[in-house]
Amino acid sequence: MKKSRYREPQIINILKEVEAGRLVKEVCREYSISDATYNWKAKYDGMDASDIKQLKDLEEENRRLNRCFLTSAWTTEFSRILLKKSGKPNGSP
């Protein structure tokens, strides 16, 4: 996924400008963003700085847990393949 050139606090400020009554097209033109980019609203609407930090922390924890799960799943599958090749039934020492 392409990295945004705007940080989350900047995105929040841009969204707040529209909430304050400015036109979306006007704000998009000022910040040189497309209307499609303005879809940030779906992700960041109603957030403040502390909410963003919490979101980032949760996203990082999710990445870490996914890596742990994938490592565990890979290890389990690898062990199963080794047991199958050795001819030992599952659960045998």
Residue-wise pLDDT for 39-93, tens only, equals 777 677 777 777 878 888 999 999 999 999 999 999 999 888 888 888 766 555 5
d(CA 85, CA 74): 16
The pLDDT value recorded for residue 1 is: 52
Contacts of 92 (CB under 8 A, 6+ apart): 83
What's the rounded mean pLDDT across residues 27-40? 83
What's the rounded mean pLDDT across residues 19-29? 90
CB atoms within 10 A of CB 11: 21
d(CA 35, CA 33): 7
CA neighbor of 6 nearest in space, from 18, 63, 34: 34
9 or 65: which carries more pLDDT confidence?
A: 65
